[in-house]
């Protein structure tokens, strides 16, 4: 039960990843500005997806710095802008004491909870002394339909959220990982410096809702789901009568002493 749920199974996967970047990048960049990556730094972008943050970091640390972008699937990464490694965070090693800055967003949640401590320790060991990490993950428990939504829609939305969370839990995925990040980092030896939380009010049919629609359809394909709950959930996101509170993204900045 360890296969990544959102593997590149459909022609829409690059668009889905760009949708995620459009939602998250503005706040991620605000957080990264606080960490202030500068010329000469050595950076690691883990599970880089479509690579927007790797590209931003590469612009910031040039000309003498370097960025390595890793992923199990590197097909959307641009080796002309930064270095690209095909790398599985669960099973592959990282070089020791190498990086000044590590960024990882929406990747740890896809790794079973029983492996979190060893994966965080691997990231810790890869940092130089004094090196910093920005880790960003979801707390999916804040995902809730608006109280003003028509009751039929609300019921269908809650059924879709339940189905999604049940599926994640059955794969040992921690659905409130964001809320636990600070404690996890502390117990792996990091010193937590600052954290940020963000969520949005989302309308059906908006770009964020359409990202969520693509995600529900991808989940359905991935688990070969035969009942209609996830399909119905996906269709709801296009309905302009829907409004909901998004999942919360928690960003935590910590350093290695
Ligand atoms: C939800 S996407 C997030 C992409 C990017 N970090 C972002 O926030 O825009 C998760 C990414 O993690 C990658 N991934 C999943 N499991 C991984 C693992 N064990 N090691 C490295 N990358 C992994 C996936 O291939 C995918 O690109």
Which structural domain, as residue segments, surrounds residue 245?
A: 13-255
Question: Does ligand 1 lie within 6 Å of residue 163's CB atom?
Answer: no
pLDDT at 149: 86
User: What does the block give as tokens for 36?
Assistant: 């202030």
pTM: 0.96
Cα separations (Å) of 43 from 84, 155, 251?
12, 45, 17
pLDDT at 129: 98
* CATH number of residue 76's parent domain: 3.40.50.150
Residue among 7, 19, 47, 91 to mutate when testing ligand 1 (max atoms within 8 A of CB): 47
pLDDT at 166: 95
Q: How many C-beta neighbours within 10 Å does residue 197 have?
A: 14
Q: Scan for tokens 């003003």, then name that residue.
A: 148
Question: Does ligand 1 lie within 6 Å of residue 16's CB atom?
Answer: no
Domain count, the chain: 1
User: What is the chain's pLDDT, residue by residue, as a tens digit (257 residues)?
Assistant: 457 888 776 678 999 999 999 999 999 999 999 999 999 999 999 999 999 999 999 999 999 999 999 999 999 999 999 999 999 999 999 999 999 999 999 999 999 999 999 999 999 999 999 999 999 999 999 999 998 888 899 999 999 999 999 999 999 999 999 999 999 999 999 999 999 999 999 999 999 999 999 999 999 988 887 789 999 999 999 999 999 999 999 999 999 99
Question: Does ligand 1 lie within 6 Å of residue 219's CB atom?
Answer: no
Question: Does ligand 1 lie within 6 Å of residue 94's CB atom?
Answer: no
Whether residue 5 is contained in a domain is answered as no
Whether residue 19 is contained in a domain is answered as yes
Question: Does ligand 1 lie within 6 Å of residue 106's CB atom?
Answer: yes
User: What does the block give as tokens for 217?
Assistant: 């359809």
Whether residue 4 is contained in a domain is answered as no
In this structure, are residues 87 and 115 in contact, taking their beta carbons and an 8 Å threshold? no
Cα separations (Å) of 96 from 40, 42, 124, 125, 129?
18, 13, 9, 5, 11
Question: Does ligand 1 lie within 6 Å of residue 88's CB atom?
Answer: yes
pLDDT at 87: 97
Question: Does ligand 1 lie within 6 Å of residue 107's CB atom?
Answer: yes
Whether residue 32 is contained in a domain is answered as yes
Whether residue 248 is contained in a domain is answered as yes
For ligand 1, the distance from its centroid to the CA atom of residue 38, given in whole angstroms, is: 25
pLDDT at 2: 54
Whether residue 239 is contained in a domain is answered as yes
For the chain, the distance separating the N- and C-terminal CA atoms, rounded to the nearest angstrom, is 35
Whether residue 120 is contained in a domain is answered as yes
Question: Does ligand 1 lie within 6 Å of residue 105's CB atom?
Answer: yes
Residue 39 to residue 16: CA distance in whole angstroms = 31
pLDDT at 1: 43
Residue among 49, 102, 137, 222 to mutate when testing ligand 1 (max atoms within 8 A of CB): 49
Question: Does ligand 1 lie within 6 Å of residue 20's CB atom?
Answer: yes
Q: Ligand 1: which residue has its CA nearest to atom 23?
A: 47
Whether residue 2 is contained in a domain is answered as no
pLDDT at 151: 87
Question: Does ligand 1 lie within 6 Å of residue 76's CB atom?
Answer: no
For ligand 1, the distance from its centroid to the CA atom of residue 20, given in whole angstroms, is: 11
89 Cα nearest atom in ligand 1: 20
């Amino acid at each position: 039960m360890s296969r990544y749920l959102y593997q590149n199974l459909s022609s829409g996967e690059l668009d889905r990843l760009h949708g995620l970047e459009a939602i998250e990048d503005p706040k991620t960049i605000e957080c990264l500005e606080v960490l202030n990556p500068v010329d000469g730094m050595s950076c690691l972008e883990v599970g880089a997806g479509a690579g927007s943050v790797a590209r931003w970091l590469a612009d910031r640390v040039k000309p003498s710095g370097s960025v390595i972008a890793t992923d199990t699937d590197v097909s959307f990464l641009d080796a002309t802008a930064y270095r690209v490694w095909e790398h599985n965070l669960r099973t592959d090693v990282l070089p020791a004491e190498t990086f000044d800055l590590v960024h990882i967003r929406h990747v740890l949640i896809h790794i079973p909870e029983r492996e979190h401590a060893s994966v965080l320790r691997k990231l810790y060991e890869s940092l130089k002394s004094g090196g910093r990490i920005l880790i960003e993950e979801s707390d999916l428990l804040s995902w809730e339909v608006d109280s003003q939504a028509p009751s039929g829609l609300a019921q269908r939305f809650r059924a879709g959220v339940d189905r999604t969370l049940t599926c994640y839990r059955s794969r040992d995925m921690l659905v409130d990982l964001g809320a636990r990040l600070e404690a996890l980092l502390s117990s792996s030896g990091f010193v937590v410096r600052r954290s940020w939380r963000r969520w949005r009010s989302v309308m059906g049919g908006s770009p964020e809702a359409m990202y969520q629609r693509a995600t529900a359809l991808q989940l359905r394909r991935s688990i070969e789901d035969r009942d209609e709950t996830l399909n119905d959930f996906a269709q709801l996101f296009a309905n302009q009568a829907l409004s909901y509170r998004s999942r919360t993204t928690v960003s935590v900045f910590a350093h290695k002493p």
